[in-house]
């Protein structure tokens, strides 16, 4: 089967990509508006982009009425965000926070998501997250007629839970991040040692 994307509606293309480009890590993004209201939202079109400068890209869509999602609006205004990685104990609250709320409401209060301040000048991180990146807005990618906006953010600092650090000299980590596979969530599971290259 060969699927011609020129003949596919956006929803069909999105479904095919979401089931094929897997697993997709989840960026649980915390931003604040000018009034200080905390927004928490998960995104799975997310990946590391470069180690120098240390950057990541998060693709943010629009609300059901076509207006900017709070994550996009807040990042454009304040230029700051905190991106938490998610493990299984945080699954339920992370999933609940994907619900569309009025901009005046905070997912932290609506879904009892505890947060803590770690790095001055950045939004708080989710309590219990295994790792969090404190980032500044870097640039946007203009995709013509796109249903989302790819945002590039630059990592300024990273929090790492001491419990997932297995080697301090080179800072090696061991934890099971939650990922998206199609519409479902999954854990990475089995690790495979790469074969030696002759």
Region of residue 188 (phi > 0: left; psi between -120 and 50: alpha; otherwise: beta): alpha
Distance in angstroms (rounded) separating the CA atoms of residues 74 and 41: 12
Strands 80-84 and 27-32: antiparallel
Model confidence, pTM: 0.90
Whether the Cβ atoms of residue 101 and residue 111 lie closer than 8 Å to each other:
no
pLDDT at res. 19: 83
Q: First vs last Cα of the chain: how many Å apart?
A: 35
Domain borders along the chain are 5-187
Out of 3.40.1010.10, 3.40.50.2000, 3.40.250.10, 2.30.110.10, the CATH code matching 5-187 is: 2.30.110.10
**Residue-level pLDDT, tens digit, the chain, 198 residues:** 787 887 766 667 778 888 888 788 999 999 999 999 999 999 998 999 999 999 999 999 889 898 899 999 999 999 999 999 999 999 999 999 999 999 999 999 999 999 999 999 999 999 999 999 999 999 999 988 888 899 999 999 999 999 999 877 778 888 889 999 988 999 987 788 999 999
- pLDDT for 10 equals 63
């Amino acid at each position: 089967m060969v699927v011609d994307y020129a003949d596919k509606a956006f929803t069909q293309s999105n479904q095919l990509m979401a089931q094929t480009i897997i697993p997709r890590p989840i960026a649980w993004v915390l931003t604040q508006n000018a009034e200080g209201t905390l927004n928490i939202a998960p995104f799975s079109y997310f990946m590391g982009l470069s180690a120098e400068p240390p950057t990541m890209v998060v693709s943010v869509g629009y609300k059901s009425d076509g207006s900017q999602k709070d994550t996009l609006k807040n990042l454009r205004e304040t230029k700051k965000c905190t991106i938490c990685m998610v493990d299984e104990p945080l699954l339920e609250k992370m999933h609940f926070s994907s619900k569309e709320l009025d901009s005046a409401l905070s997912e932290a209060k609506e879904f009892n998501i505890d947060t803590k301040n770690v790095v001055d000048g950045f939004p708080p991180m989710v309590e219990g997250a295994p790792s969090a990146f404190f980032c500044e807005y870097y640039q946007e990618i203009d995709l013509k007629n796109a249903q989302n906006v790819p945002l590039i953010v630059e990592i300024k600092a990273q929090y790492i839970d001491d419990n997932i650090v297995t080697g301090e000299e080179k800072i090696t980590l061991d934890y099971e991040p939650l990922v998206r596979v199609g519409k479902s969530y999954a854990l990475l599971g089995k690790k495979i040692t790469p074969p030696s290259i002759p």
